[in-house]
Structure 1
């Protein structure tokens, strides 16, 4: 008996996800950026050396991973998607979260991600990856290399493309400790992140919060990990994506698909 899910069933989930995004009194009027962050953080725990972590399992359902300080605020995204999971009980959380992230990207004007289902949910908190695997925005270039290239197995180009997701969304003082948006259009997926990074004059913010940078008007911000992209070996790709939005979209789509597929082994389940 075939266990394949019809395209129509996934399309129905997609439509319900899109309907859940608008929210006038939340951030910039949309849940799409935080839903994208959920998919990113659910996937970014993968370790290619230990071959664990990643989106397969949806282990952020458990307290150990949900309360990782790097995941602060993501209960909002999980809550937004919970009624959709209740309506479409056949879909796993692991598939729902990653699909929702892909839908969010496209909904905000970004590229289509050729998402595929087949992830399973793990049901034991012992399956949660070790705390501390997600990127720490307060650190610098060596940390970016360690997390993205050494542990997850991305190239330099893929790393710069993935961090370009900061073109949408904003940081919250009561979650990450950081505060503010990266761009003036935090609900529109574009290459503005790279343009702002290169063209604005960024100075360290004088405040009682963690180290971050601000533009001359104090309206936009960058994290230390963002500023690291201005250094070698990352800078040439920042310059490329600032000039060529289509190239960024193509490279981001490929890198994000790789991210949400890390650790997913459908063949082992046949």
Structure 2
């Protein structure tokens, strides 16, 4: 049987099973498949229905994919999954915003559980933001490959790329969340974790919307698409321009180094960038701009340390931001105005998380602004 004939057969099979399943559950829902004008989206959660439809679609796709070991088969399977996601969006058969807030809240619980095991500075927020960043930052606008849509860091060799060292910690944490919410795609889960990390650590709101699908190892990206911290300004521009960002956005995104620290057993570098590595502030810029930085004398890779306390560090890719004329003006601007950086950082991160995702897959025409745990608590009190 040709692929075209098989694809047609699969579509018919999936559509019939989906209609039968929906029809048994709700007559009004059934009518959405038989009318040209969809009924208004239901207020109650569609997560159960979404999971059922997803199982039907994936079941049909799996029949084709696992009968063939070719990369072409897996690429075709991904295309079918993307089409299925777009169809569910068009028919309003997707989890609701409230469903995703439940996942957000679970991630927020995970952030603080780091204190129970004495992990780093007491929060998993920085490593979860790094997971979201690195799963999105592989996008190439020329080939329209990479990005968070397929969550290909689940596969080797991408999971073993040097830039992803240490991120198994974050992936394992999110795997536990995925077990509780199996209907969410890994791409949505990982980027939502990045949103929760920024917002729950005092940062700006990051507009976000779901709709990513899970791909296969065939969609994994080659090594070298993420920044190499030992390089200079030309390298930074090559990496970020490939994604579609400009100089201002390069600096804005670099401000994520306000969070977390480097580890010798991962990147080889060592130490935090700021004195408050689990709080989102513009301290990265104020320190980079105002402190005296000298090259650290040690047996590790080339990095800088602050001359005053010798307790902070900057990477070569950080220091070039104050050496390059175009970058430097934005470092100064963000050091002087945290609100400006929050605004620009929010815009850049939101766009980073959506690179390469077909618009038809998104469940909302505009990104959502999700409430923090504190905001939800305040709302309940009112």
**Quick check: 1:95–1:117 contact (8 Å CA) kept in 2?**
yes
Residue 192 (str. 1) matches residue 283 (str. 2): yes
Residue 141 (structure 2) aligns with: 48
Work out whether 1:243 is the aligned partner of 2:336.
yes
How far did 1:232 drift?
1.4
Is the partner of 2:131 in helix, strand or coil? helix
Distance 2:97 2:123 in 1: 26
Aligned to 2:302: 211
Q: How many corresponding residue pairs? A: 268
Partner residue in 2 for 1:62 = 155
RMSD: 1.2
Residue of 200, 205, 221 corresponding to 1:107: 200
How much has 1:269 moved relative to structure 2? 8.9
Q: Is the counterpart of residue 222 in structure 1 residue 335 in structure 2?
A: no
Counterpart residue number, 2:183: 90
**Which of 129, 139, 144 is equivalent to 2:231?**
139
Runs (4+) off by over 6 Å:
none
Q: Using the alignment, how far apart are the partners of 2:275 and 2:144 within structure 1?
A: 38
- SS of 1:90's equivalent? coil
Unaligned runs of 5+ in 1: none
Matches within 5 A, 1:11-50: 11-22=101-112, 23-24=114-115, 25-50=118-143
Residues 97, 65 of structure 1: CA spacing in aligned structure 2 closer, same or farther, 3 A cutoff? same
Residue range with higher mean Cα deviation, 151-160 or 172-181: 151-160
Please tell me whether the aligned partners of residues 119 and 266 of structure 1 are also in contact (alpha carbons under 8 angstroms): no
C-alpha separation in 2, matches of 1:129 and 1:63? 10
Structure 2: how far apart are the matches of 1:11 and 1:152? 29
TM-superposed deviation, 1:114: 1.0
How does the TM-score come out when normalised to structure 2?
0.69
Instruction: Work out the CA distance in 2 between the residues paired with 1:55 and 1:232.
Output: 32
> Highest relative contact order (Cα 8 Å, sep 6+), 1 or 2?
1
1:2 Cα deviation from its structure 2 partner = 2.4
- Cα separation, 2, equivalents of 1:140 and 1:211: 12
Which protein has the larger Cα radius of gyration, Structure 1 or Structure 2? 2
Deviations 1:95-134 (A, max 9, x none): 0000010110001100111100000000x21210111110
Instruction: Note if 1:8 corresponds to 2:98.
Output: yes
